[in-house]
Chains A and B, each alone.
Chain A
Amino acid sequence: MSPLLEVRNLTKLYPRVTAVDGVSFSVEEGACFGLLGPNGAGKTTTIEIIEGILPPSAGEVLYRGEPLGRRFRAEAGILFQKTALQDFLTVRQTLTLFRGLYTQGYDIDELLELCSLQKLADRDHRKLSGGQQQRLLLAVALVNDPAILFLDEPTTGFDPQARRNFWRLIESVKARRRTIILTTHYMDEAQRLCDEIAIMDRGRIIAQGSPRELVSSHFADVLIELPRADFTPAARALPLRVIEGTERVEITTDDIDQTLKALMAVHVPLRNLRIRPPNLEDLFLELTGKELRP
């Protein structure tokens, strides 16, 4: 079976920058695919080309084996990073407007319930809080019960509670075997929601796979964290793989006994030492040499 979505060699040139530089991937039906990367990596440009909003400079996007067309627009649901809605409309009227643009999809009441908007149905959408507004925009994106759902940094600016609620919502969409394309710069979000992840930096995909695969293929090892103050010059002289952060120092190792012995030999205090398995955040740091969130 051919994949639901196939992206081939996508390139987007702007006069001064190459925003997207030969990106290719494919997504199976029912999967959640995450595009991960720092701000300015080219995630939004990539996703907007796939959505048919921006024309690519080169490359192509196939949906169900065909170039984007009417079928794609009828079956796709899109949540932009920033969306303005028509002024003076209530939540229900906004959904009615968008429902009217599609031949099939949810009942408005079903949709309100799905996105926990029942109590807000008759409120002017401009009077909603950030999290409520995003739930409305998700409801707009879901109005046609899309086969493929695009979410561009859906939880940026959320408080932890709102993020968790939003994730539960996305998981309920996933449970119905809908395909999801997600961009994010939150590692925990990608780790929790995505089946497959592509890490982007400077317009290219620099690593791709399931979250577990990605982490394990790049780290056979564990991470030892030390406060920077405890990392003495003597320790610094040891032949270790070290990434220095502003407060903490991280040592990557595949032989934890050996490394700890070496550190004790130079009298590094172990009181505040922490050992933990690596996560996507570490992978990103390892791959690009920079913090994901500046």
Chain B
Amino acid sequence: MIRRLLAVWHARNLEFLRDRGSLIFTLLLPLTLVLGMSFVFGGPERALFKVAVLTDDLGSIEHPFMIERYVDFIASDDAAAAVRKVARHQIDLLLDTAADGSRYWVNPDSPKGYIVERMLLQADPAAKRQPVSGDAVRYVDWLLPGILGMNIMFSCLFGVGYVVLRYRKNGFLKRLHATPITAFEFLAAQVLSRLGLILVVTVILFVGTSYLIGLRSVGNPALLLLIATLGSLSLIALGLTIAARFSSDELVGGLLNTLTWPMMLLSGVWFSLEGSPEWVRAIAKVFPLTHMLDAARAVMLDGAGLAQVAPQLGYLAITTLVFLAFGAWSFRWRTD
């Protein structure tokens, strides 16, 4: 069994690597997206500075700094959360106007923080700077897991779905069916081939972007790899459920697009779903990609451990099994 599986696995790998077009596409698309987004979002496009003030009621605060223009003042009553937001560039400065003298937190890596700090010290030279704990997180740091996840999703769904469809349509599956190979062996070979390739691609992209734009990831890389593995498996298996049976390009293409577009928009690839309606979040919770991205961001940005991402990993594992079982059950070697 292993021999047959390996034979098909090896041939599939060769086919993929020699298909230069799709290989380049797999590598180039996400890279362009990351670089493009980091350029767009890294630029000085925001006219306002955001300053959080530690208080329940902004109106009750009187401070010379608060008459500044071009500054958006936000009330915040959770000091720890606000400091974290400073660290993540979600706000530029945090101000505490205590009676015994003002204190403030600013991210030393942030250009905007630097300017706002100057403005504050002009208004209140006695304000005391407090250290910000934790690493700075840029939007691009938050975005990268999303882009990599999206690439994994497309590669898994289309790479497996269309390939199996093509094999069925051109009769290669029929030819294989005339040999001792079983459906399970064939599908397992496809899954493993795609899994190996997408993990290698993802690691290359991860390392490459880290080098190019100075990405920082605080969590355990092995745990990240585990998340990518389970997420890829779940998405490949999802692709197989569609590829298992149908013989029509249009139908399979339509189904794959129906799956990928909502996932791309609602799984938190581009923006966080915080604050979106309950039903949108309910839909998002169904997608494997959402769970993969949640887990990956928790590990990369907050250094979460295995225990914290266990629910997401569990969901990915269970969906993998369910999709695989369904795919194997509905698998057809030939066109009807």
Contact = CB atoms under 8 A, between A and B. Distances in A.
Interface residues of chain B: helix, strand, loop or mixed (majority): helix
A56 B177 CA distance: 16
B138 interface: no
A73 B178 CA distance: 6
A101 interface: yes
Interface in B291-330: none
Given A86-B12, A88-B18, A101-B4, A73 B171 contact: no
A70 interface: yes
A98 B175 CA distance: 10
Contacts of A87: 15, 18-19
B40 interface: no
B181 interface: yes
A175 to B, nearest CB: 24
B261 interface: no
Contacts, number: 77
A96 B334 contact: no
Contacts of B180: 70, 73-74, 101-102
Interface string B10-24: 111011001100000
B332 to A, nearest CB: 12
Q: Which of B167, B177, B180, B334 has the most CB of A within 10 A?
A: B180
Contacts of B179: 73, 98, 101-102, 144
B172 A85 contact: yes
B243 to A, nearest CB: 16
B170 interface: yes
Nearest to A97: B11
A96 B7 contact: yes
Interface of B: 3-4, 6-8, 10-12, 14-15, 18-19, 167, 170-172, 174-181, 333-334
Given A80-B178, A87-B19, 12 more contacts: A53-B174, A70-B180, A83-B172, A84-B170, A85-B172, A87-B15, A87-B18, A100-B4, A100-B8, A101-B4, A101-B176, A144-B179
